Chains A and B, each alone.
Chain A
Amino acid sequence: MNEKNLKIINQIFIEVFNDETIFLDKTTSSKDIDKWDSLNNMHLVVAIEKHFQVRVSLRDIQSWKNVGDLCDWISYKTA
């Protein structure tokens, strides 16, 4: 389940940042991707909300430290 989510999230990253070379693993954080910063973070969040049909709160967003946390959160929400 988590692996599948990771792939989907990777695809969302590629679309939002318009960059085919992005390859995510669970430890990837905003430090590893230049284009990912707090300015466009919400574009990513809303794309994820839309795809998984979930609603994210600010507290959730601020608790994610890396892509792994994000995947876990999605698995938990969509389970």
Chain B
Amino acid sequence: MLFNSYIFLFLFLPITLIGFHFIGRYTKANIAIAWLVGASLFFYGWWNPAYLILLLFSIIFNFSVGVFLSRNSKGNLAHKAILLFGIITNLSVLGYFKYANFFIDNLNSLAQTNILLNEIILPLGISFFTFQQITYLVDAYYQETKEYSFLYYCLFVTFFPQLIAGPIVHHKEMMPQFLKDTIYKLQTKNIAIGLTIFIIGLCKKVIIADGISVYSTPVFNAAEAGILLTFFEAWTGAIAYTFQLYFDFSAYSDMAIGVGLMFGIVLPLNFNSPYKARNITDFWRRWHITLSKLIRNYLWDPLSLTLTRFAITRGYGNLRIFILTIIFPILFSFFWIGLWHGAGWNFILFGFLHGFYIVIYHIWIKFKLNFLDFQLINNSKLSKSLGWLITFICVVFAWILFRANNLDSAINLYRGMLGLNGYVLPESYLIILNKFLGFGNFLEANGFKFGVSGFFGGITQIGLFFIVGFIAFIMPNTYQFMSNSLPKKLSKELDEVKINFKPLNWRPTYLFSLLLAAIFAFTVLSISKNSEFLYFQF
């Protein structure tokens, strides 16, 4: 079921919410939890009931392994073996459903074999619930999980706002919340805040993300079909996708957090204005925060600690230390981040490209420290803006690999972006540009062409970029607008933004509710088709 469908908005959500608070008020907490688990399973089964079996198997398996691990003292060999078995089983299931086709295809082309495998349909959210449960197992191994009832564990995995596309939650932040009495008592403040965040998310998805996809999808389809794209077509298509992806995925996260709050549950922040980042590590601290944190805590940190210890005890020189403790683990972690997103060489290259960016950033910081330590580069406004611009361009460039369905179409787009297919502006622009000191003729004399530029939306598209760019680059984000009313868990991770114009700070007033009702009505009426969220495919 989609958050942006009528059945969710007008049937599933109200019924589940009213049922939960009604049961919670008049009966026991356990029954309310069971209601919510049931509703979540229904929500998941709506797409394909067959995959409910997989989800349930995964929950039962991981719960059993987790209980075993947390009951037995850590450290002995059997204990380690069970953890390993648990992790490998999870990864194998994920591997089969997500990567088997990719693996077989590559094997066939490498070894010239002809193994056939039926196309396996990817179960929704499998990457999310698998990783979530692996972290649970690791923590159970270190005796950091308390033992919870099976019902609570089910809710931890299936809680429908976060089941399909995150935020990836950690048992430590979820379980204690289920045990609080307060969530079972209806709190109007939570409903008001949750609904506001939800409506803003819905609007981001339906109006902005779906609206801007008109400019990105045709460009990527053309690239796949082998049509040569010119400079402006390729860049504007790529930038359109950059905005589409952000508004789509952050919309989903907003809606998840909003729905969570209506049930009294605080889900973690997943986006913090990523396109405001001034360097590439900053970008990864703001984009899909819960995935970055998971990779950092469960992959990067252990790897980096082990390798650093190794390199230092061996007494390696600076260069070898740098390669072993920085470059290698960065590329390794980003390889997994890439692969996590999908089975394809484009995703692996996407990971490596970002890993490469981060290595370059790191070298730059070291170099700057040693050789260029003067004011101009350090803190001036110019360097900050320049850092932001370079970061944004790098991010746009990498999303091509993320979006293109195969390497050929990515290369096709890159050729366009590098100007190898020429610079073509719409024919009508020649006359307009010539009105400015004959600028059109000047351009024509310098390699530009005026003719058919079918995938470039011209001034309308550029105007649209300015609007969404203003929202993504300059405006405070949803959570900053609401920072006075948010639960502390959410607001503590935000950058502090002083909104000087006080009336803009969200408060539960008639004015804001009217405004939101209007946005909601407008958005709901604009839902034209069932457009899936982009992150559902991961």
A56 to B330 Cα, complex, angstroms: 22
Contacts of B301 in A (CB 8 A): 38, 41-42, 58, 61-62
Please tell me which one of the listed residues A18, A39, A42, A43 contacts residue B330 in the complex, with CB atoms under 8 A apart: A39
In the complex, A49 has a CB within 8 A of chain B: yes
- Asked if B308 and A39 make an inter-chain contact with CB atoms under 8 angstroms apart, the answer reads no
Q: What is the minimal beta-carbon distance from A56 to any residue of chain B, in angstroms? A: 8
What is the bound-complex CA distance between A34 and B272, given in angstroms? Answer: 19
* Cα–Cα distance between A41 and B142 once the two chains are bound (Å): 22
- In the bound complex, do residue A46 and residue B300 qualify as a contact, i.e. CB atoms below 8 Å apart? no
Segment among B158-166, B213-221, B362-370 that sits at the interface with chain A: B362-370
Contact B308 A45 (CB under 8 A): yes
Query: A59 at the A/B interface (Cβ < 8 Å)?
Result: yes
Q: How many chain A residues touch B (Cβ–Cβ < 8 Å)?
A: 21
Q: How many residues of B contact A (CB 8 A)?
A: 22
Q: Check B326 against A46 for contact (C-beta < 8 Å).
A: no
Q: B326 contacts which chain A residues (CB < 8 A)?
A: 39-40
| Chain A positions within 8 Å of B300 at CB level | 38
Contact A39 B312 (CB under 8 A): no
Q: Is A15 an interface residue (CB 8 A)?
A: no
How close is B74's CB to chain A, nearest CB, in angstroms?
Answer: 12
User: Is A37 positioned at the interface, with any CB of B under 8 Å from its CB?
Assistant: yes
Is A42 within 8 A of B362, CB to CB? Answer: no
The total of Cβ contacts below 8 Å across the A-B interface reads 47
- In the complex, which residue of chain A has the Cβ closest to the Cβ of B378? A34
**Distance A62 CA – B294 CA, assembled complex (angstroms):** 12
Contact assessment for A41 and B369 in the assembled complex, using a CB-CB cutoff below 8 Å: no
Chain A residues near B312: list those with CB within 8 A: 46-47, 50
Interface residue? B497 (CB, 8 A): no
Docked pose: A47 CA to B370 CA in angstroms: 20
Within 8 A of A (CB), among B304-358: 304-305, 307-309, 312, 325-326, 330, 358
Name the residue of chain B whose CB is nearest to the CB of A43.
Answer: B308
Q: Is B180 an interface residue (CB 8 A)?
A: no
A32 within 8 A of B: no
* Cβ–Cβ contact B369 & A35, under 8 A: yes
Query: Which residues on A sit within 8 Å (CB–CB) of B302?
Result: 58
A24 to chain B, nearest CB (A): 18
B146 on the A face (CB < 8 A): no
Which of A38, A43, A50 has its CB near the most chain B CB atoms (within 10 A)?
Answer: A38
CB-CB under 8 A from B370, the residues of chain A are 18
Which residue of A35, A56, A58, A59 is within 8 Å of B365 (Cβ)? A35
**B residues within 8 A CB of A41?**
301, 304
Residue-wise interface mask of A (42-79) relative to B, using a CB-CB cutoff of 8 A (1 in contact, 0 not): 11011101100000101101100000000000000000
For the complex of A and B, list the 4 residue pairs with the smallest distance between their C-beta atoms, beginning with the closest.
A42-B308, A42-B304, A46-B308, A42-B305
Sample of 17 A–B contacts (CB below 8 Å):
A18-B370, A35-B369, A38-B296, A39-B330, A39-B362, A41-B301, A41-B304, A42-B301, A42-B325, A43-B308, A45-B305, A46-B309, A46-B312, A47-B312, A58-B301, A59-B144, A62-B297
Binding site for A on B (CB under 8 A): 142, 144, 281, 296-297, 300-302, 304-305, 307-309, 312, 325-326, 330, 358, 362, 365, 369-370
Interface residues of A (CB under 8 A from B): 17-19, 35, 37-43, 45-47, 49-50, 56, 58-59, 61-62
Given A42-B308, A46-B309, A61-B301, 11 additional A-B pairs, CB 8 A: A38-B296, A38-B300, A41-B301, A42-B305, A42-B307, A43-B325, A46-B305, A46-B312, A50-B312, A58-B305, A61-B305
